[in-house]
Each structure stands twice: as structure tokens, then as C-alpha cells.
Amino acid sequence: MTALPAFLSPVSPDPTIQELCLDAEFPHPKLGASAHAYGNPGLVEFYTPFLTAIHDKCARKISILAHGHLGIWPTVPRGGRYRDPSSISLTAQVETLHDAYPQAKLVITAHSMGCWVGLQVLRAKPDLVSSLFLLFPTLSHINQTPNGRSLSWLFQAPLPRLISCVSILAWLLPLAALRLLFPEWPLPQILVLRKFLHSPSAIYASLSLADQEMKTIRDLDIALLQTYSHRLHMYFADEDDWVGEQKGPVLRAFNADPGSVKIVHGHPDIPHAFCINHGEELARQCFEWLQTGGLL
């Protein structure tokens, strides 16, 4: 098996992970926490088909590292310790990325609220990030999007703790029941979901982080977008209830130099949660971006 780089530590082998993937974790000693590195509540295994397709299209000449959120993945050994929301806060998620990577040029692909996190990394380490691909980006006022307005109450205390406590009832659901509830999901993605539902600590961390997203991701940083517009690539869904009307301000932010950023308005059939069963389709688009931008 290929050796892991020095900044990663191995975790127990998972038979559901594809042969080309190495399961590992980021130890973050300053925070006393680890992130799964193989995360959509930050579950990196949901993205395996998407990342595998990109890897194959690039003739396996590139290395891909998927970085999950702190506290989300149940198989990371220290995952059970997350009971203080501050240890898995949005600020902590950004801090882990500031110090995680070696000094090498990176092409970052981020999804949903991960796009906001990716922009913070670009702001902090502009010499490290050569390009940033923002897929279905939620960059501002996430609490005012259609999903934000309808779901934000679910993320507020004490509901995350209560939901995580009663989630033990999900253990009673057989695999066949999950397949009936999510008939369009491929079996590997159903297994990822089942593993998540069987971890109260991961559920608590995910809901607590979502609450901080609602409160933190507010005003659009237009100056940041315009400063680094030549490094940005964006992919928007035809309709996206996690973006909503916030797409307009993002697009208008590039009026000063509209040719400096590649913006794609996606196919109507590809949803915000593309990683479930549209990963291969989006991988083709990202591969074309890489070629067009001379990044391959």
C-alpha cells in the first residue's frame, strides 16, 4: 500500500472504501481533534465516485486529498470526544485547514458551505492555492436561502443534542428500510448514510456546525471575490435551495472584470447534493475546467 504523507495518520481499514483510496485522519493537536481525510455534512465518502472519476480522467497523474469536517465522521478514533460545540465550530474548521497542508501548490475543490471555508483558506494562504473550484457555493446569507429559512430551527440548541440522543432509534432501521426511503441512492451511498446515522456524536457535530453556518455565513465578501477572481471557477445549479437569491449578488460581484472567472450554470438534472448519484457527470465538467485552465 502507498505510504501516507507525514501530515496524515492511518485509521482502521474500511472494506467499503475503494482500492485506490487510503483511509486516514488529520491530527490537529492545537485543537485536540482530528478530521477524516479520505467530508453533505462533511462526509468525505459521499464524494468517492466524484473524486475517483476525476482521478481516472486525469490518468491517475494527480493526487487527491479529501478533507472532512472536524467531528463529523464516526470512524475517526477521537470522534466520540466532540461534546463542546466550540471544538467543532466553523472557526475551528477553518483553522485546521490553515495549518493542514504542506507547502505545495493546491487546486481546491469545495462544495456548498465548503466553498466559504475554501475562500477563507485562499485569503489566509494565497501563495498556496493556485485555483479554487466552487461547486454549488453557499457564500452569503445561508440563513435566508429557502432551505435555511425552513431548516434553521432544527440546528438551534437544544435540538442537536436531543436529536443525537434519540438517533439510537435509527439503529433499528434495517438496510432494506433505508433503501426504501432513498430508492434513488446507490448502495455505497446508503452505507455511508447508515454509518453516519449510527453515530450520535457525528450527528450532534453536524447539526451544531450547521447552526454556526446559519449565524456566520452572512455578508458576501465582494472584495475577496474580486481580488482572486482570476483563480476562481464556479458551478451553479439551475435551481438551488441552499443558494436561492444569493446567486445574484455573487454573479454581480464580477461585473468589474467578467472575463476573469469561469462560471458554469449547471444542467437542470444535477442537484445541489450532486455527490449522491451525479458525481461522474460533474467530474467531467471539472476535468474540462482543469484542461482549459492549463492545470493539467
Q: What are the structural domains of the chain?
A: 9-292 (3.40.50.1820)
Which are the contacts of 119, defined by CB distance < 8 A and separation ≥ 6? 132, 134, 139, 221, 224, 225
CB 260 within 8 A of CB 290: no
What is the pTM for the complete model shown?
A: 0.84
Q: What average pLDDT does the segment 200-227 reach? A: 92
Q: Return mean pLDDT, the chain.
A: 79
Q: CA–CA separation, 197 vs 191, rounded Å?
A: 10
Q: Residue 87: which pLDDT band, with cuts at 50, 70 and 90?
A: low
Model pLDDT for residues 234-256, shown as the tens digit of each residue? 999 989 999 999 999 998 887 65
Output the pLDDT for position 54.
86
Residue 86 has pLDDT above 80, yes or no: no
pLDDT of residue 137: 95
Residue 131 phi/psi, 5-degree rounding, is -150, 150
| Mean pLDDT value of segment 87-111 | 73
pLDDT score recorded for residue 213: 92
Quick one: pLDDT at residue 263? 80
- pLDDT reading at 169 higher than 50: yes
Cβ(205)–Cβ(88) below 8 Å: yes
pLDDT of residue 116: 93
pLDDT computed for residue 11 by the predictor: 61
CA distance 7 to 28: 10
Who wins on pLDDT, 86 or 268?
268
Q: What is the pLDDT of residue 26?
A: 59
The pLDDT of 206-225, averaged and rounded, is 93
What is the DSSP code string of 47-114? Answer: GHHHHHHHHHHTTT-S-------BTT-TTSGGGGG--SGGGG-HHHHHHHHHHHS-SS-EEEEEETHH
Q: In DSSP terms, which residues pair with 109 in a beta bridge?
A: 133
Residue-wise pLDDT for 20-69, tens only, equals 555 666 565 554 444 443 344 457 888 888 988 988 888 777 778 777 77
* Distance (Å, whole) CA 239 – CA 6: 42
